[in-house]
Structure formats: structure tokens, C-alpha cells
């Protein structure tokens, strides 16, 4: 096992923030801002927390690529033995480019195209997580054409309330995801009839950023266990259960269950089932392994509100705008003693009122200060855009006292490289 520091690799010491052995301040100076910075030690630690927590059973942790798909991030995890949960042919290609093993990939998502299915079958992924009867037929057709049998699991929608933001809740019957409980058995029966389908598992994913308790996960697993027993009675035996992702993280003041508590809550049910366990954590591995550094560009105190305009914006980090997410925002070093704190809205320069990173933050600020948005390693860079013709930020990976540019900052010219004028 890798020799890891005992403390969190992203930490504050004497009013200065560090990631492993480097200060945020020096990274901002060296590479400029806005800047995504990831810690290899934190990724390792978070992956190993899952791997160890499920040590009581045959299992495979499949990192959910959508949360952070940088090649270096995927490579760090691949070297630890991680599998990957993907949702597109693009993610498949990325995982392979990053050195991930095809036979540890599970392919989720409700709109897999024929080309994506063909690519996945050709490289030999572990399993397709099937989201509809129509998709099952499509996979069978492609597998028949290639003369192979496609390993599948049906993603069931257990109708469990994940008690999270409606945009990231996926296990309710009104959500577009998964096969409704009412038709699960018919769909399995159909899968059993199809010549080029091999049924190997069952899966569910009820939502993301679950922070209140492990109960929704347990409730979903109870329902799935019943389904597995019914399937057995009908002559369909499974090799694995995929419990999805969704374990929440602390962004501000949440107190989410730890991977160990999550595993402990599911342990009795999983041991009763005795199947191999797949899981698809994304955020719980990547969120608190990364930060977004940004510089205060201008201060705009007004009679109604104080605005600190920073050089990162909603195009760089959209979680506050899209989900009303409350993220911790810290100064990377102590404020000068004579600078009084005020209440600020930390906003970007994009022309949208939804463009904010944080509201009502008590901070002592002056122009040029560097701030860090903590917890930005998941659903950060991957959801960024070039809106307002803003080049996307660079990404850096820190490993102990070293740092590597793992994605260059985009140049302005590259933003219109694929565009043409009319003749
Ligand atoms: N498996 C499946 C099938 C999923 O749909 C997701 C996330 C995951 C695993 C990973 O979930 P996690 O462990 O990261 O919670 N952009 C949103 C989150 C969208 C999540 C979509 N599905 C956000 O920033 O909160």
C-alpha cells in the first residue's frame, strides 16, 4: 500500500492552505488562476477507504468517471486497481487512454449508441448496466452482429427517496433512470430469451450527494435483495450486485457517512446475498481531492451588497449556479491584520445573475487575494464550459512536493479553432 500522510492531504497550517507539500499560494503564482489542483495522495486515500471498507466481500470499486475524467486522475486510480463506471464512448476511450483495464469497466447511462456498444463489446468491458427494454434489444443486436454474448446487468429503479437535490436524485419512479420495479421481472425474462445476452448482475443508483444517513442505500438494497430472490425462484441467478455511487461529501457543514459507515450499513445484506459487489463512487473519491484556485480581480462594495469579482466563474464551476451548492471558500493565506472582514458575495464576471461561487461569505478581502473553492475535484472541470468565450482553466496534479500540469490552460485561439467564416 502507498505510504500516505496520516492527515488530510489538503489542510490549513498557520493560516496557510496546503495541498500535500505545496502551498496554494505558490501554485497560484506558478500556474496562474483559475486553476484546478488535485492531490494524488487524497485520491489514493479516498479510493483505499472504499476498497478497505468492502474488504469483507469480493468487490470492485469502479470510479465514476463523470465526476472527474482527467487522464492523470484516472491513471492514478487505475494504478491502484480501480475499475471505472462510464456513461459514454468518450469516457470509455478516456479510461483506455489512461491505462484503465477494460475488464473492470461497467457501462451505465440510458442512451448508449450502437457504436458505443460495439466499442465496449470489442474491448471486452465487464458489464453493461441496462436502463431500458429497448436498450437491451439494441445490445443484443450489436452483440449478434459481432457474434459475442454481451454481459448485462439491469439497472432497476427502486423508487427510494435519496433526500438530495432534485436534479441529482435518480431513484424515484418519476426519474428517467433505470427500469421501473413493475417491469423488472419481464425485462429479465426477455433478457434470458435473447441469444446474445448473458445476464450477470443487477444494479441501482438512487442519487448523488447523499449526506443525511445510510438509510436510503439500505432501503434500496432491501428492495433489490427481494428482486434477486424472486429472480432465483424464476431460474435466473446473478453473479454480482452493483450498488451504484452517491455517497455524499462535506462541502460546507454536512456530516455525511464515511465509506466505512456506508459499508457497515450494507454489510449484513451483502453477506446474505453472497454476490460479488460492484460500486460506482465518484464524488466521494474526487471531490475533496481537488480545489479550484481563483484570484480576487475587483471589489465592488455597494450600499446593498458587497461583491468580490473573482477570475473563476460559473463557466469554470457551475455547481452553485445549477444546484444551489454551498461550497467552502477560503483565503489561501491569512489576511493582513488591519483588513476588516465584511460579508461578500463571491461572483464571476459572466453575464448571468446565477454566476456566483458563494453568497454571504464573511471574509477580509482585497484585490489580488487568492481564494480556494474546496471540494471542487468532482463535477468541477468536467462541467466547465467556454461560455462568454472564456478559456477553460488548467488542471494540476500534486504528488508530495511535485506538481504536474495535467491539462494545459486553453488558449483564446483554440476556442474558435473549429469555426469558419463563410466564403
Ligand atoms: N453511478 C451512476 C449510474 C451515476 O449516475 C452517478 C452520478 C454515479 C454513479 C456517481 O455518483 P457520485 O458517487 O459521484 O455521487 N453534477 C452533479 C452530480 C451528478 C451525478 C450524476 N450521476 C453534482 O455536481 O452534484
Q: Which atom of ligand 1 is nearest to the CA of 319?
A: 24
Distance 360 CA to ligand 1 centre (A): 28
Question: Residue 421: CB partners within 8 Å, gap ≥ 6?
Answer: none
369 confidence band (pLDDT: 50, 70, 90): very high
Q: How far, in Å, CA of 296 to CA of 304, rounded? A: 20
1 confidence band (pLDDT: 50, 70, 90): very low
The answer, yes or no, to whether any atom of ligand 1 lies below 6 A from the CB of 245, is yes
Distance 166 CA to ligand 1 centre (A): 12
pLDDT at 165: 83
Report the percent of the chain where pLDDT is more than 90: 93
The answer, yes or no, to whether any atom of ligand 1 lies below 6 A from the CB of 379, is yes
| Set of cell numbers at residue 401 | 512536493
Distance 422 CA to ligand 1 centre (A): 41
Q: Which atom of ligand 1 is nearest to the CA of 379?
A: 24
Does the pLDDT of residue 2 top 80, yes or no?
A: no
Distance 169 CA to ligand 1 centre (A): 9
CB atoms within 10 A of CB 368: 8
* 326 given a catalytic annotation: no
* pLDDT tens-digit series, residues 277-318: 999 999 999 999 999 999 999 999 999 999 999 999 999 999
The answer, yes or no, to whether any atom of ligand 1 lies below 6 A from the CB of 355, is no
Strands 276-279 and 240-242: parallel
Question: Residue 31: CB partners within 8 Å, gap ≥ 6?
Answer: 394, 396, 403, 405, 409
pLDDT at 143: 98
Q: Which atom of ligand 1 is nearest to the CA of 378?
A: 24
Does the pLDDT of residue 4 top 70, yes or no?
A: no
Which one of 62, 204, 326, 351 is the catalytic residue? 351
Q: What is the mean pLDDT of residues 405-412?
A: 98
pLDDT at 164: 82
* pLDDT tens-digit series, residues 235-291: 999 999 999 999 999 999 999 999 999 999 999 999 999 999 999 999 999 999 999
Q: How far, in Å, CA of 190 to CA of 302, rounded? A: 64
The answer, yes or no, to whether any atom of ligand 1 lies below 6 A from the CB of 242, is no
130 confidence band (pLDDT: 50, 70, 90): very high
- Measured in residues, the chain has a length of 423
Query: Is the Cβ–Cβ distance between 305 and 347 less than 8 Å?
Result: no
pLDDT at 372: 98
Does the pLDDT of residue 105 top 90, yes or no?
A: yes
Q: Which domains does the chain have, with CATH numbers?
A: 10-39+287-415 (2.40.37.10), 108-281 (3.20.20.10)
86 confidence band (pLDDT: 50, 70, 90): very high
**Closest residue by CA, ligand 1 atom 6:** 245
**The cell 424464476 sits on which residue?**
234
The answer, yes or no, to whether any atom of ligand 1 lies below 6 A from the CB of 205, is yes
The answer, yes or no, to whether any atom of ligand 1 lies below 6 A from the CB of 207, is no
One-character DSSP codes across 115-149: HHHHHHHHHT-SEEEE-SHHHHHHHHHHHHHHT--
| Set of cell numbers at residue 55 | 474488504
Distance 146 CA to ligand 1 centre (A): 31
Q: How far, in Å, CA of 106 to CA of 60, rounded? A: 10
Does the pLDDT of residue 219 top 90, yes or no?
A: yes
The answer, yes or no, to whether any atom of ligand 1 lies below 6 A from the CB of 209, is yes
Q: Would you call 350 helix, strand, or coil by DSSP? A: coil
The answer, yes or no, to whether any atom of ligand 1 lies below 6 A from the CB of 132, is no
6 confidence band (pLDDT: 50, 70, 90): low
Does the pLDDT of residue 321 top 90, yes or no?
A: yes
* pLDDT tens-digit series, residues 157-206: 888 888 888 887 777 777 888 899 999 999 999 999 999 999 999 999 99
| Set of cell numbers at residue 80 | 491502484
pLDDT at 160: 87
- Distance between the two ends of the chain, CA-based, in angstroms? 60
| Set of cell numbers at residue 82 | 480501480
Q: Which atom of ligand 1 is nearest to the CA of 246?
A: 15
The preferred substitution site among 65, 67, 209 for testing ligand 1, maximizing ligand atoms within 8 Å of CB, is: 67
Amino acid at each position: 500500500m502507498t505510504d500516505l500522510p496520516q492527515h488530510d492531504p489538503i489542510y490549513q497550517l498557520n493560516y496557510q492552505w496546503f495541498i500535500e507539500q505545496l502551498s496554494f499560494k505558490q501554485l497560484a503564482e506558478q500556474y496562474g488562476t483559475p486553476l484546478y489542483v488535485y492531490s494524488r495522495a487524497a485520491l489514493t486515500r479516498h479510493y483505499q477507504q472504499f476498497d478497505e471498507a468492502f474488504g469483507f466481500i469480493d468487490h470492485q470499486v469502479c470510479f465514476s468517471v463523470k465526476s472527474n475524467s482527467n487522464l492523470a486522475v484516472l491513471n492514478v486510480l487505475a494504478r491502484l486497481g480501480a475499475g471505472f463506471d462510464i456513461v459514454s464512448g468518450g469516457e470509455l476511450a478516456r479510461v483506455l487512454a489512461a491505462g484503465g483495464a477494460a475488464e473492470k469497466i461497467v457501462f451505465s447511462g440510458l442512451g448508449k449508441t450502437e457504436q458505443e456498444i460495439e466499442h465496449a463489446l470489442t474491448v471486452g468491458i465487464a458489464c453493461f448496466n441496462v436502463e431500458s427494454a429497448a436498450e437491451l434489444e439494441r445490445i443484443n443486436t450489436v452483440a449478434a452482429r459481432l457474434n459475442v454474448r454481451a454481459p448485462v446487468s439491469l439497472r432497476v429503479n427502486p423508487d427510494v427517496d435519496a433526500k438530495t437535490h432534485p436534479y441529482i436524485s435518480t431513484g424515484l419512479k418519476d426519474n428517467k433512470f433505470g427500469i421501473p420495479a413493475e417491469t423488472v421481472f419481464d425485462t429479465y425474462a426477455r433478457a434470458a430469451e435473447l441469444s446474445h445476452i448473458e445476464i450477470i448482475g443487477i444494479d441501482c443508483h438512487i442519487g448523488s450527494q447523499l449526506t443525511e444517513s445510510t438509510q436510503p442505500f439500505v432501503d434500496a438494497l432491501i428492495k433489490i435483495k427481494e428482486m434477486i430472490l424472486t429472480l432465483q425462484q424464476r431460474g435466473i441467478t446473478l453473479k454480482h450486485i452493483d450498488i451504484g455511487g452517491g455517497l455524499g461529501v462535506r462541502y460546507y457543514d454536512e456530516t455525511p457517512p464515511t465509506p466505512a459507515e456506508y459499508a457497515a450499513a450494507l454489510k449484513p445484506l451483502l453477506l446474505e446475498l453472497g454476490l460479488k459487489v460492484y460500486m460506482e463512487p465518484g464524488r466521494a473519491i474526487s471531490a475533496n481531492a481537488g480545489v479550484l484556485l481563483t484570484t480576487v480581480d475587483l471589489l465592488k462594495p455597494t450600499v446593498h451588497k458587497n461583491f468580490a469579482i473573482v477570475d473563476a466563474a460559473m463557466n469554470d464551476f457551475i455547481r452553485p449556479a445549477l444546484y444551489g451548492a454551498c461550497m467552502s471558500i477560503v483565503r489561501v493565506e491569512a489576511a493582513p491584520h488591519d483588513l476588516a472582514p465584511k460579508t461578500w458575495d463571491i461572483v464571476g464576471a459572466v453575464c448571468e445573475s446565477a454566476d456566483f461561487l458563494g453568497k454571504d461569505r464573511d471574509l477580509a478581502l482585497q484585490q489580488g487575494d487568492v481564494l480556494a473553492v474546496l471540494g471542487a475535484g468532482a463535477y468541477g472541470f468536467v462541467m466547465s464550459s467556454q461560455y462568454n468565450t472564456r478559456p477553460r482553466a488548467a488542471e494540476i496534479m500534486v504528488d508530495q512536493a511535485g506538481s504536474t500540469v495535467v491539462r494545459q490552460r486553453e488558449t483564446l485561439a483554440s476556442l474558435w479553432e473549429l469555426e469558419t467564416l463563410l466564403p
